[in-house]
Structure 1
Amino acid sequence: MSEVVIVIGDRMGKGQKVAAGIDSVAGCRAIVVPGMAADMKLGDVMHKENADLGISFCGSGGAGALTAKNKYGYSERHGMRSPEEGETAIADGCKVLGFGFMDTEELGRRIATAYLKKNPR
């Protein structure tokens, strides 16, 4: 069974809580892009790591998600503010999820679980 790799890029250099939520789901591994403006590096790290999914956090949730789409062609949805919106985006086949600042373990768990539901390993 191959693990699901989810990359997190946060404008303020955070993302550790959502990563803990992802890591708590069996078969999933989070990679947090370090440093300020990490959301702008999301697509590059996803590409390098051959990631299954990416999560961008900034005020609007759009900058990193749109940059990943423009540079690598990843499908994205941005401007999200709830775990339910992220679950719907995964069900719709999005590869990059753009959220406002929501560094919570619950979000990480729910996103990882939704990904595994749609893409069983």
Structure 2
Amino acid sequence: MSKQIVVVIGDRLGKGKNIIVGIEKAGGKAIHIPGMGADMKLGDVMHEENADIGLSFCGSGGAGALMAANKYGYKVKHNLRSVEAGITGLKEGAKVLGFGFLDSEELGFRVVEEYRKLQKKESE
């Protein structure tokens, strides 16, 4: 069996419940950062947990994602507004995805599924 995919969620307003459901349905492990301003802690938690993916959510779609990229060198794609844009970011090699507010079960599920496909291709 392959390694469980770990996804850290940092939402400016402390939300993310629907994303967690999608991540877990896809067989991933969700780590939700609690509280207001959680997006700004995304890089630190990703680093501590050795996470595969980080999802940042705020009005601008980038603050926490850019902070994670600047502090830890994670490849980032930000200012995303849809599930498809996030999938494209993963395909382009981003480890941190910065969205506007998008607490969607579909997003959590599809990010884990796509990451799994990309990892499988890399290992072949």
- Please provide the CA RMSD for this pair: 1.0
Alignment pair present for 1:83 and 2:80: no
Match of 1:8, as an amino acid? I
| Distance (whole Å) between structure 1 residues aligned to residue 53 and residue 6 of structure 2 | 7
Distance in 2 (alpha carbons) for counterparts of 1:17 and 1:57 = 13
Deviation at 1:60, TM superposition (A): 1.3
Q: TM-score, normalised by structure 1?
A: 0.96
3-state SS, counterpart of residue 59 of structure 2: coil
Corresponding residue number in structure 1 for 2:56: 56
Count of residue correspondences: 120
Q: Matches of 2:96 and 2:39 in 1, distance apart?
A: 11
Aligned counterpart, 2:101? 101
Letter aligned with residue 95 of structure 1 = K
Q: Which stretches of structure 1, 4 residues or more, deviate above 4 A after TM superposition?
A: none
Q: Which amino acid aligns with 1:101?
A: F
Aligned-pair distance for 1:36? 0.4
| TM-aligned CA deviation for residue 7 of structure 1 | 0.2
CA distance in 1, matches of 2:90, 2:13: 24
**Offset of residue 2 of structure 1:** 1.6
Deviation at 1:39, TM superposition (A): 0.1
Shift of 1:19: 1.0
Q: How far off is 1:34 after superposition?
A: 0.6
Superposed displacement of residue 85, structure 1? 0.5
Match of 1:9 in 2: 10
Unpaired runs of 5+ in structure 2? none
TM-score by length of 2: 0.94
Write the distance in 2 (CA, Å) between the matches of 1:101 and 1:87.
16
Q: Secondary structure at the match of 2:9?
A: strand
- Could you list the runs of 5+ residues in structure 1 that have no partner in the other structure? none
Match runs of 1:64-79 below 5 Å: 64-79=64-79
Q: Distance in 2 between matches of 1:14 and 1:112?
A: 19
